[in-house]
């Protein structure tokens, strides 16, 4: 998921440089949402793995 966030961020940067403001804004929003979802899932999996396996 982090890979997709980076891809959309690169698309947003390229679109902004070329002057496509609407596409850049949309791609930036998608990248931010994917990054937040990645962080939430990462934190949840980190704490679940620290609990250890259940018997």
pLDDT in the model for residue 52: 65
CA distances from residue 35 to 19, 27, 29, 30, 51 in whole angstroms, order as listed? 24, 12, 10, 9, 25
pLDDT in the model for residue 23: 87
> pLDDT class for 55, splitting at 50, 70, 90?
low
pLDDT at 2 over 90: no
Read off the pLDDT of residues 9-19 as tens digits, 9 standing for 90 and up: 898 899 889 98
CA atoms within 13 A on the CB side of 51: 9
pLDDT in the model for residue 41: 93
Domain ranges of the chain: 2-50
Read off the pLDDT of residues 18-52 as tens digits, 9 standing for 90 and up: 988 888 888 889 989 999 999 999 999 998 887 76
Q: Residue 31's closest CA among 17, 48, 15?
A: 15
């Amino acid at each position: 998921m982090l890979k997709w966030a980076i891809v959309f961020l690169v698309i947003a940067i390229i679109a902004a440089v070329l002057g496509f403001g609407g596409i850049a804004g949309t791609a930036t929003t998608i990248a931010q949402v994917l990054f937040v979802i990645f962080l939430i899932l990462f934190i949840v999996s980190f704490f679940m793995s620290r609990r250890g396996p259940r018997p």
